Amino acid sequence: MTVPSAAWTLAAGDELKAPDIEYSQLLPTLIVLGAAAVGIVVEAFLPRRSRYVTQVVLSLVALAAAFAAVIGLAAGGSATSDAQIAGMGAIAVDGPALFLQGTILLVALVSVFVFAERRLEPVAHGAPVDSFAAQPASVPGGEGEQQATKAGWTTTEVFPLLLFAVGGMMIFPAANDLLTLFIALEVFSLPLYMLCALARRRRLLSQEAAVKYFLLGAFSSAFLLFGTALLYGYAGTVNYSGIARVISSADTTTDPVLADTMGNDALLLIGGAMVIMGLLFKVGAVPFHMWTPDVYQGAPTPVTGFMAAATKVAAFGALLRLLYVVLPGLRWDWRPVMWGVAILTMLAGAIVAITQTDIKRLLAYSSIAHAGFLLAGVIATSEDGVSSVLFYLGAYSFVTLGAFAVVTLVRDAGGEATHLSKWAGLGRRSPLLAAVFAVFLLAFAGIPLTSGFAGKFAVFKAAAEGGAGALVVVGVIASAIAAFFYLRVIVLMFFSEPQPDGPSVAVPSAMTTSAIAIGVAVTLVLGVAPQYFLDLAGHAGVFVR
């Protein structure tokens, strides 16, 4: 009798048994994770005053190099003809993976600019500081915090944490077996939990957000892991294509140890549902969206921007791969459920957003509604569906980044003025900033000539072609509802009288300025001339199996 030991990595197929790792294929991820490790060393050994510059430069260089590596792989054909599964069946290097990794890297690159901004907080004790706590380990309001603040300390750990999160996010949509998926999830979630807790102002709110995010996130990770176990019980492997083969009855060999459970459809359905639930949590889809508003509100705004953009990209990538590679055979089971989730997500996000009075919570609910629109594209189950979701993710993430970067600039004595009533009359005080924010809001609302419209049209088109016309109608109605609250903000900014004690707009350094400028540029370019990027997403629409 054979020992059924850790044979799961080998079960993918004979050609994958080579015990070597294709380092060149995994280069982008390795660069980022390597740089993150170096960042930790920098924290440990470099004097405090030189850490900031070193970390910023290191992060930017690493992300740029990783992006160059992604481009190199794509140019070498890894995205299309030469797509393959690397790392002994653990990681897919194909079009969607590379497209999403590239998007995540660009998002991270812009996020570093916002993270590194040190002009916004007032210089209190001689040193310019950023939006992160002086010493996160100290008790909020305690003596340790005061001392750290007086000393002008800053938390440069955010940069390696960001890089670790990026590394995990890059693996997440590329993961080709369920265990790699789980590990990637943890690798990017844990740094995010920590980043959420690091706000310099309103530290209790920030820590509350982190705890909530952590607890709910841990819960969803548990679902994912349990689902993985059940699927292993069903298929005898955690490899994506291996499970797909068992589902389609192409593989009939039964592992003797799992003879009782293999092929048991109950395990498949429950396991598949649990894994999908884990991913829907990260996506922020109803009914797993509860964490979104609290976390978005409490986390430091640069982190919120990064999280809102990059997590969504990574999680939708993973969801796409799971549904298209592992569970296509189960399409008739998951499609009705996902229909329901998509409709609920679109409508709930749009309707609840109407009552919000805090700009960050408003953007959180808007991100939920957008998750619903994206799900409409996911449901299309066609190549068009994949590429439309990829395009939407790229378009949406830059709008989000830009919008949150603008939020960091509107400040009063208590830090960022996120309450909507304080935004009244902003258009009079700083017309340029208000106009930029209006562009982002119009893009969120999907007004033509912005990237939001092109993205929305792409996913709805894919959904309509996939026979989900009713979903398109619901999506259109949800868009109309959503348009209402985006407009409310515009009305507030331009048509309301400024309040006497209203916030002022901080003058940022070139870094935040360029982050916002990139956001506007991407929004307009993808809105007016999206063809090149649609082509790019179109070529990247095929998963390797």
Partner 1 sequence: MSFPLLTTTAVVPALGAIATAAVPAARRTAAKWLAFLFSLATLGLAAAVLIRFDPDGARYQLTESHAWIADFGVRYELGADGIGAVMIALTALLIPFIIGAGWNDADPAPGEEEETENKRWRPTQGFFALILAVEAMVIISFAATDVFVFYIFFEAMLIPMYFLIGGFGDRAHAAGEAEGAKQRSYAAVKFLLYNLVGGLIMLAAVIGLFAVTSDQLGEGTFSLQEIARARASGELDIATSTERLLFLGFFFAFAVKAPLWPLHTWLPNAMGESTAPVAVLITAVVDKVGTFAMLRFCLGLFPGASDWATPVVIALALVSIVYGALLAVGQRDIKRLIAYASISHFGFIVLGVFAMTSQGQGGATLYMVFHGISTAALMLVAGFLISRRGSRLIADYGGVQKVAPVLAGTFLVGGLATLSLPGLAPFISEFLVLVGTYSRYPAAGIVATAGIVLAALYVLLLYQRTMTGPVKDEQVRRLPDLRVRELAVVAPLIALLVFLGVFPKPLTEMVDPAVEHTLSDVQKKDPKPQHPTAEQGWFDYKPAAPAEHGGGEHE
- Of 178 and 426, CB closest to partner 1: 426
Closest CA to 111 of 365, 396, 404: 404
Among 37, 483, 506, 517, binds partner 1 (CB under 8 A): 483
Alpha helices in 299-449 (DSSP H): 301-306, 312-321, 331-353, 359-379, 383-409, 426-429, 431-445
- Give me the helix-helix angle, 265-283 and 312-321, nearest 10°: 160
User: Residue 465 interacts with partner 1 (CB under 8 A)?
Assistant: yes
Q: Is 141 helix (H, G, I), strand (E, B) or coil?
A: coil
Give the separation between CA 58 and CA 109, rounded to whole angstroms.
11
Shortest distance in whole angstroms from residue 413 CB to partner 1: 19
Among 139, 266, 354, 473, binds partner 1 (CB under 8 A): 473
Among 10, 218, 229, 447, binds partner 1 (CB under 8 A): 447
Among 30, 205, 464, 517, binds partner 1 (CB under 8 A): 464
- Of 293 and 530, CB closest to partner 1: 530
Among 211, 269, 477, 517, binds partner 1 (CB under 8 A): 477
User: Residue 4 interacts with partner 1 (CB under 8 A)?
Assistant: no
- Of 259 and 480, CB closest to partner 1: 480
User: Residue 404 interacts with partner 1 (CB under 8 A)?
Assistant: no
- Of 217 and 372, CB closest to partner 1: 372
CA atoms within 13 A on the CB side of 449: 1
Contacts of 373 (CB under 8 A, 6+ apart): 346, 392, 455, 456, 459, 460, 475, 478, 479
User: Residue 517 interacts with partner 1 (CB under 8 A)?
Assistant: no
Shortest distance in whole angstroms from residue 420 CB to partner 1: 15
Binding mask 56-95 for partner 1 (x = CB under 8 A): ----------------------------------------
Shortest distance in whole angstroms from residue 483 CB to partner 1: 5
- β-partners of residue 419 are 358
Percentage helix, strand, coil for the chain under 3-state DSSP, each rounded to 5? 70, 5, 25
Q: Is 327 helix (H, G, I), strand (E, B) or coil?
A: coil
Binding mask 490-509 for partner 1 (x = CB under 8 A): -x--xxxx------------
- β-partners of residue 239 are 177
Shortest distance in whole angstroms from residue 457 CB to partner 1: 6
Shortest distance in whole angstroms from residue 544 CB to partner 1: 23
Among 189, 479, 512, 523, binds partner 1 (CB under 8 A): 479
Question: Which stretch in 50-58, 115-123, 204-212, 479-487 sits in contact with partner 1 by CB under 8 A?
Answer: 479-487
Q: How many CB atoms lie within 10 A of CB 524?
A: 15
Amino acid, res. 159? F
Among 119, 419, 461, 539, binds partner 1 (CB under 8 A): 461
Q: Is 20 left (phi over 0), alpha (psi -120 to 50) or beta?
A: beta
The DSSP code for 139 is: P
Closest CA to 297 of 231, 219, 364: 364
User: Residue 476 interacts with partner 1 (CB under 8 A)?
Assistant: yes
Question: Which stretch in 31-39, 142-150, 346-354, 527-535 sits in contact with partner 1 by CB under 8 A?
Answer: 527-535
Q: How many CB atoms lie within 10 A of CB 45?
A: 8
Question: Which stretch in 89-97, 152-160, 256-264, 446-454 sits in contact with partner 1 by CB under 8 A?
Answer: 446-454
User: Residue 430 interacts with partner 1 (CB under 8 A)?
Assistant: yes
**C-alpha angle with apex 166: 19 to 122, nearest 5 degrees?**
155
Closest CA to 524 of 455, 458, 450: 450
User: Residue 431 interacts with partner 1 (CB under 8 A)?
Assistant: yes
Residue with tokens 């939407």: 392
CA atoms within 13 A on the CB side of 496: 19
Question: Which stretch in 38-46, 209-217, 330-338, 531-539 sits in contact with partner 1 by CB under 8 A?
Answer: 531-539
User: Residue 437 interacts with partner 1 (CB under 8 A)?
Assistant: no
Closest CA to 114 of 294, 282, 300, 295: 300
Shortest distance in whole angstroms from residue 523 CB to partner 1: 14
- Of 245 and 456, CB closest to partner 1: 456
Using CB under 8 A, list all residues that contact partner 1.
428-432, 442, 447-449, 453-454, 457-458, 460-461, 464-465, 469, 472-473, 476-477, 479-480, 483-484, 487-488, 491, 494-497, 529-531, 534-535, 538
